[in-house]
């Protein structure tokens, strides 16, 4: 896989489960991260990882420029639930000249519109087995989204020592600084992840973290 040029500054717009995990991982990787969300409590939570976190309910160009979004190497728009806002925000960020814009979509129709605007599209809450199958690069994992050459989201197939263990027992966050953002089982994907959930051989988990940490986790399977 061809590596993306190293990016040092990121913007994350929207702090749902996907956006929050993304922002935390990037900040822990030593990247500069600008974060925007309308929820004050979520912004307060993310400020333990980045000081550049702002509460805003209006994602117009003026608000985005005040936050410094135009200075980012990569901006990820994580507003899939509200299609109109997600599309308008993506269009605004692209028009501001950000070099790389990635936008979350919940449907293929929404994704098609975002692609036409010039954004890269990710479907973190869709059936990832279907959407990402063409990116299969080995028997154990699928490359989902490479943010740069040090941080990515990857699909890992559960096997070996992870079989039958709960997420809490695996302690991915403590041992590897990884976050699970989705689990696929029997061609169905869930993003409602709980510590007591058990993983079984054949499950595919989507994890976000530093590349070397994901590699280390896979080596332990």
**Bridge partners of residue 115, in order along the sequence:** none
| Mean pLDDT value across residues 96-118 | 91
Mean pLDDT of the chain: 85
Residue 4 has pLDDT above 70, yes or no: no
Whole-structure pTM over 0.85, yes or no?
no
Instruction: Give me the pLDDT at residue 132, please.
Output: 41
pLDDT digits (tens, 9 = 90+) for 33-69: 999 999 999 999 999 999 999 999 899 999 999 999 9
CB half-sphere exposure, 99, CA atoms < 13 A: 13
- Provide the 10 A C-beta neighbour count for residue 82: 12
- Residue pair 164/200 in contact by the 8 Å Cβ criterion: yes
Instruction: Give me the pLDDT at residue 126, please.
Output: 52
- Residue pair 84/110 in contact by the 8 Å Cβ criterion: no
Residues in CB range of 116: below 8 A, 6 or more apart: none
Higher-scoring residue by pLDDT: 109, 187: 109
- Residue pair 132/111 in contact by the 8 Å Cβ criterion: no
- Residue pair 66/91 in contact by the 8 Å Cβ criterion: no
In this structure, what token pair is assigned to residue 186? Answer: 């029997």
Residue 128 has pLDDT above 50, yes or no: no
Instruction: Give me the pLDDT at residue 142, please.
Output: 47
Higher-scoring residue by pLDDT: 33, 218: 33
Residue 165 has pLDDT above 50, yes or no: yes
Instruction: Give me the pLDDT at residue 149, please.
Output: 67
Residue 134 has pLDDT above 60, yes or no: no
Q: What ranges do the domains of the chain cover?
A: 9-122, 128-220
CATH code of 9-122, in short, is: 3.40.50.720
| Cα–Cα distance measured from residue 94 to residue 87, given in angstroms and rounded to the nearest whole number | 11
Higher-scoring residue by pLDDT: 102, 1: 102
Query: Matching CATH topology for 9-122 and 128-220?
Result: no
Q: Please write down the long-range contacts of 169-174, taking CB distance under 8 Å and 24 or more positions apart.
A: 170/199, 172/207, 172/217
| Cα–Cα distance measured from residue 97 to residue 73, given in angstroms and rounded to the nearest whole number | 10
| Cα–Cα distance measured from residue 12 to residue 39, given in angstroms and rounded to the nearest whole number | 14
Instruction: Report residue 192's pLDDT band, with 50, 70 and 90 as the boundaries.
Output: confident
Fold exhibited by the domain 128-220: Alpha-Beta Plaits (3.30.70)
| Cα–Cα distance measured from residue 51 to residue 186, given in angstroms and rounded to the nearest whole number | 41
Residues in CB range of 27: below 8 A, 6 or more apart: 33, 49, 50
């Amino acid at each position: 896989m061809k590596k993306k040029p190293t990016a040092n500054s990121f913007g994350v717009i929207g702090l749902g489960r996907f956006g929050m995990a993304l922002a935390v991982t990037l900040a822990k990787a030593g990247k500069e991260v600008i974060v925007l969300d309308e929820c004050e409590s979520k912004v307060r939570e993310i400020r333990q990882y980045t000081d550049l976190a702002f509460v805003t309910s209006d994602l117009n160009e003026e608000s985005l420029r005040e936050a410094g979004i135009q200075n980012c190497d990569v901006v990820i728009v994580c507003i899939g639930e509200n299609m109109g806002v997600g599309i308008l925000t993506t269009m605004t960020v692209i028009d501001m000249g950000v070099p790389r814009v990635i936008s979350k979509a919940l449907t293929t129709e929404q994704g098609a519109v975002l692609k036409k605007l010039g954004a890269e599209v990710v479907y973190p809450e869709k059936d990832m087995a279907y959407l990402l199958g063409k990116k299969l690069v080995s028997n154990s994992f699928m490359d989902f989204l490479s943010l740069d050459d040090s941080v990515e989201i990857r699909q890992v197939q559960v096997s070996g020592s992870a079989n039958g263990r709960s997420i809490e027992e695996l302690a991915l966050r403590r041992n590897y600084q990884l976050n699970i953002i989705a689990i696929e089982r029997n061609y169905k994907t869930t993003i409602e992840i709980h510590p007591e959930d058990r993983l079984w051989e054949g499950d595919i988990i989507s994890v976000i973290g530093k590349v070397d940490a994901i590699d280390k986790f896979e080596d332990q399977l």
